Amino acid sequence: MAECVGTLAWPLRGQFRQYKRGSKLYNVQLDESGMTVTSDGEKQVVKVTDLVGCQCQQEQQQQGNSAYFTLLAYPLTGGRKRTRLALCFEVASKNTFKENLAVANAWRRAVYHAVRNHGTTKPQVDHSKKILLFINPNSGSGRALQTYRKQVSTLLAEAEVSHEVLVTERASHATDVVRTLDLTQYAGLVILSGDGLLYEVYNGLLARPDWNEAIQFPIGIIPGGSGNGLARSLAHWLREPYRANPVLVSTLNVVYGHLSPLDLVMTETAKGKRILSFLSIGFGLLSDIDIESERLRIIGESRFAVWAVARCANLRRYRATISFKRAVGAPVPAPLASSPMLQRSQTLQEGEGLPSTNARHLSHSHSMQLQESKKGEEEEACLDILPSLVKVEDGALEPVPEKAQEAQECEEQQQQDGAKSEVLLPGLDEPVPDDWETIEDEFVMVYCSQQTHITSDVLIAPQATPDDGYLWLMMLRRSCPKTTIAKLLLGLDGRHLRYPGVEMVAVEALRIVPGTSKGYLTVDGEVIPWTPIQSHVLHKRGRIMTR
């Protein structure tokens, strides 16, 4: 049914020629489902969930009065990767260029309206504000800045997502910034890095006096480190083709900025310190590999596999007491119905899948404003596939209409309502409650994951979802057969839950009391003191940007 969105007629219909495709006329319609282009019985549909934006253009050497609008989308091709699609239409029905440009611009606005209002019922970031993008130039193999220049900035520009970049200069820089940041200035915080930088951001939010609200601030993640467990897990959950282009599918989450609930975990240490995490807690084999392979950081995510082989020859066991509150109603841990083949570790490839045309030059300054949609700045930018057209900027996009915002607030309320109440923990020096279970043993490994993956290649908890309310606790005791350990070191791909000696249980809270003199206790891959800790899930308390 036709409706009016601001000054736009909706759905939008028109008849246009396609740029450089002869005089054939195409009927174009934009509605809630996306863009439909028909001509001579042929039909092309671009789903609204694949659209990212629309740019208005004019010819470089303007000859007539025509204006152009180019629809940009990243549809799935062959179901295995997302590929850039640009459809350019000529607007020539009016007498002057100005009038034709006004029509082109109406289409541009309508496309953004469709992208932000249709295809999902999730709440979304405030698109009228900019995003603060943290980049760790030293994460992984040190290519995060190149990834930004060659892929991320291009895509954000196409989608008119304005953002400010902060290049971190040292460990704890992100924590220090976030601790005192005026969050009202931003739509969200996005991390282009490994999981370690997001851990810093969350713990900066936790250190604020308003931490209870601050930890709900919208967060986005784009993989740029050697451990990209959250980005990989989100793609797995959303059934996105991560391997073909991890940066593309993750940046698209930021572009859409729809907000999905994310479980966070609060950990309390024996020294009274509180830590907030989103990925994992553990000690033993996996933690040792993560920490001790640091020296191989230069080789990217393959460092984990290489070090795992080295550690196989020298297996350590740790005495500990593990207590946990078993989650009632959680699914029984099981392998995937059909487990994926173990694939080679993958590091980021520059320029993968995206053109490098609009990449901005970064100065060495640690903080800079890159208002990608600022008037004037992009007038020189041209789309790579249409070199004879130049972009015309014609006004900022309208904010989401009030009605949609009301619906969004209602949706946010519903999401919070669905959250489970928190488990009340006793003091760390007090006994655990009666409904907890306790195991005292020697362990090869104890590892709790909140997500399916803890790196791109390690699928540890096949049934995990970002907001299921569980920690998936995996234990290998002393009695675990060597063949199981050997198979685990060859790869954790979901099938391990069938191996003898692998125990997994979904829990809502746990306590770890180390019984040996030293070891690495890790939270989200970061080492914390080797002392007793206890943790519980803050169900749906974080909000993560997704498609």
Ligand X SMILES: Nc1ncnc2c1ncn2[C@@H]1O[C@H](COP(=O)(O)OP(=O)(O)OP(=O)(O)O)[C@@H](O)[C@H]1O
Chain positions contacting ligand X, by CB under 6 A: 136-140, 168-173, 193-197, 200, 225-227, 297, 525
Question: From the CA atom positions of the chain, what is the Rg in Å?
Answer: 25
Q: Closest CB to ligand X belongs to which residue?
A: 194
Structure tokens at 172: 């704890």
CB of 21 to ligand X, least distance (A): 45
For helices 229-238 and 195-206, what crossing angle results, to 10°? 100
Nearer to ligand X, 105 or 136 (CB): 136
Q: Cis (ω within 30 of 0) for the bond into 11?
A: yes
Instruction: Report the distance separating Cα 162 and Cα 240, nearest Å.
Output: 24
Please write down the long-range contacts of 173-176, taking CB distance under 8 Å and 24 or more positions apart.
173/200, 174/134, 174/136, 174/200, 174/201, 174/204, 175/200, 175/201, 175/203, 175/204, 175/207, 176/204
CB of 259 to ligand X, least distance (A): 23
Task: Report whether 8 contacts 106 (CB < 8 A).
Answer: yes
Strand ranges (E), 280-346: 280-284, 318-326
For helices 173-180 and 195-206, what crossing angle results, to 10°? 30
Instruction: Report the distance separating Cα 62 and Cα 17, nearest Å.
Output: 17
Instruction: Report the distance separating Cα 82 and Cα 72, nearest Å.
Output: 12
Instruction: Report the distance separating Cα 263 and Cα 465, nearest Å.
Output: 9
Task: Report whether 485 contacts 308 (CB < 8 A).
Answer: no
Task: Report whether 5 contacts 32 (CB < 8 A).
Answer: no
* Residue linked to tokens 């606005």: 109
Q: Name the strands in the sheet holding 12-18, side by side, starting at the edge strand that comes first in the sequence.
A: 42-47, 34-39, 25-31, 12-18, 85-91, 67-73, 51-59, 389-392
The rounded Cα 271 to chain-centroid distance in angstroms is 32
Task: From 123, 5, 16, select the one nearest 69 (Cα to Cα).
Answer: 16
Instruction: Report the distance separating Cα 86 and Cα 107, nearest Å.
Output: 14
Q: Is the dihedral of CA 258, 414, 208, 507 positive or negative?
A: negative
Task: Report whether 301 contacts 226 (CB < 8 A).
Answer: yes
Nearer to ligand X, 299 or 336 (CB): 299
* Residue linked to tokens 């959303």: 238
The rounded Cα 483 to chain-centroid distance in angstroms is 35
Task: Report whether 397 contacts 109 (CB < 8 A).
Answer: yes
Instruction: Report the distance separating Cα 354 and Cα 184, nearest Å.
Output: 32
Q: Quick one: how many helices (H) and strands (E) in the chain? A: 12, 27
Which is catalytic among the residues 31, 126, 176, 195? Answer: 195
Can 195 be counted among the known catalytic residues? yes
| Residue 361 CB coordination number (10 Å) | 6
Active site residues: 195
